[in-house]
Amino acid sequence: MHTSSQEEYASTRLKIDEFFSLCLNNKQSKLKLNQAEINDIYTQGVCLDKYKPGRYIYYEIQDDKIIENMIEWPAFGPAFTLCYFEKKEIWFSSQKKIVEHLNILEVQEKSLPKDEVQRPIQRSALIVFIFGGSISPYGFTDFSKTVQYQKAEKILERLKKVEIKNGILIIESQGN
């Protein structure tokens, strides 16, 4: 579980807001976020109490991938369990269009066969969340009509490249 402070979150939020502003003004810019900063966005500077029920997400950057660890308790559904755990790997490619690649590695600590899902950057739960287009980086259904998503969509349309390099998520926008 990631611990953060309001100062760290405010600093990370400021970086994102500056990138956002440059993008909206058609200026080329780069946003660089490390593992701690991605987690700051999720926790919003609050030290979460993992002993209280809820959904908790923790991000790690390993090589050229982001690992998303999610634990939820209590977990209800077809197979009731006290706790639900899921681990995904996320990476990006930027050929003609930016694509998010996602692979669920484990569910309930059981490894799964590789089954990669590809989706356009506009449907990347993590990137949309970073730019404020959804309230959670996990499990949203239809967010395409919300004001927040449409605002974030303006930025997503201006992105030129998304990559993970040397432990850093790098999001690059195009200018005029």
Summarised one tens digit per residue, pLDDT across range 90-119 is 999 988 899 999 988 888 878 877 888 899
**Which amino acid type is present at position 156?**
L
What would the two tokens of residue 28 be? 């080329």
* Residue-level pLDDT at 12: 94
Which residues of the chain, if any, have pLDDT below 70? 1-2, 75-81, 139-145
What would the two tokens of residue 94 be? 């930027």
Distance, CA of 28 to CA of 13 (rounded, Å)? 19
* Residue-level pLDDT at 23: 92
Contact between 106 and 112 under an 8 Å Cβ cutoff? The reply is yes
* Residue-level pLDDT at 49: 79
Angle at 45 between CA 106 and CA 60, to 5 degrees: 30
Residue 159 parent element (H or E) = strand 159-165
DSSP 139: -
Question: In terms of pTM, does the model score above 0.85?
Answer: yes
Helix or strand or coil: residue 81? strand
Distance, CA of 122 to CA of 12 (rounded, Å)? 22
* Residue-level pLDDT at 173: 94
The answer to whether the Cα torsion of 159, 61, 136, 32 is positive or negative is negative
